[in-house]
Amino acid sequence: MSSNNTPMSLEDDSNIGSGSGSGIGDEDEIMNDDIATTTTTPTTTTTTTTTTTNNATNTTSPTTPTSTMTDDQASSEADQLAEEANHQRFMMELEFVQCLSNPRYLNYLAQNRYFQDKAFVNYLNYLQYWKQPEYSKFIVYPQSLYFLDLLQQEKFRHELIHLMFTEYIHEQQFYHWQYYRQNRMASTNPLQPPTVEELQQQQQQQDQQQQTTDQTITNITTV
């Protein structure tokens, strides 16, 4: 009985040992798997975090071109407003300069003491840029540039207060426009000598203008 029990105990112990060894090996494998799984999990998490961070970065990046486009649009609108303001200023100054071709308007400015304002006189000096070719081509009444030159003289500005002086300027202006075409045609043919009738007509015009000038000067001096 005892001899039969001992081998069985040994066999059982060996079986148990082998079974226990097998169980310990399984436990080691399970633990190794757990460790591997545990070790792999942070890597996966890190990869996921990196991917999420990259996605977040990619999501925020397109906002930069959008903000740039907004700045470009704002700059474009500002340029457009500046261009419109510059054009409006150009048209207003062009209209004012051409108003200077009217002697009665000059008389109005003188009587309302605009020519006594230093800032206004400086403004007239500033407007002389209209005599430059790139600007003068927009002038419809060339007389305005001639009067603009005269307005730089203090004596001329002072004399414009008198109505008789204004009438004299208006007459001279009328004579210039009346004979402008004829004088221009004569200047286009400088080699062709004038006829006797043309010389007589020119002499009459000069005499008439001289009489008007003398009469106007006399009236102004008397006043």
- High-pLDDT (> 70) share of the chain, %: 50
> Three-class SS of residue 169?
helix
CA distances from 183 to 5, 186, 189, 202, 206 (A): 155, 5, 10, 10, 13
Q: Is the pLDDT of residue 55 over 60?
A: no
Q: How far apart are CA 170 and CA 140, in angstroms?
A: 18
32 belongs to a structural domain: no
186 belongs to a structural domain: yes
Q: How far apart are CA 72 and CA 77, in angstroms?
A: 9
Q: Is the pLDDT of residue 12 over 50?
A: no
Which residues, in sequence order, are CB contacts of 164 under 8 Å at separation 6+? Answer: 216, 219, 220, 223
Cβ–Cβ < 8 Å for 138, 168: no
Q: Which residue from 123, 115, 133 is spatially nearest to 92, judged by alpha carbons?
A: 123
R_g (Cα) of the chain, nearest Å: 52
Tokens standing for residue 19: 């079974």
CA distances from 39 to 22, 32, 45, 222 (A): 25, 10, 10, 117
Q: Which residue from 210, 93, 223, 211 is spatially nearest to 158, judged by alpha carbons?
A: 223
pLDDT in the model for residue 218:
61
For 104, the domain range is 81-222
97 belongs to a structural domain: yes
160 belongs to a structural domain: yes
17 belongs to a structural domain: no
pLDDT in the model for residue 102:
93
Q: What is the mean pLDDT of residues 90-103?
A: 94
133 belongs to a structural domain: yes
pLDDT in the model for residue 71:
72
12 belongs to a structural domain: no
> Three-class SS of residue 101?
coil
* Residue 97 or residue 217, greater confidence: 97
Q: What is the mean pLDDT of residues 35-42?
A: 46
Q: What's the domain count of the chain?
A: 1
CATH of the domain at 153: 1.10.10.1340
CA neighbours closer than 13 Å in the CB half-sphere of residue 188: 6
Mean pLDDT for the chain? 70
pLDDT in the model for residue 213:
61
pLDDT in the model for residue 182:
61
pTM assigned to the model: 0.49
Q: How far apart are CA 89 and CA 77, in angstroms?
A: 18
| Helix axis angle, 180-188 to 163-178, nearest 10° | 40
Q: How far apart are CA 23 and CA 194, in angstroms?
A: 139
pLDDT in tens, 150-172: 999 999 999 999 989 888 888 88
184 belongs to a structural domain: yes
* 199: confidence class by pLDDT, cuts 50, 70, 90: low
Q: Is the pLDDT of residue 201 over 90?
A: no
Q: What is the mean pLDDT of residues 75-89?
A: 87
Q: Which residue from 176, 130, 120 is spatially nearest to 151, judged by alpha carbons?
A: 120
Least confident range from 19-23, 123-127, 145-149, 162-166: namely 19-23
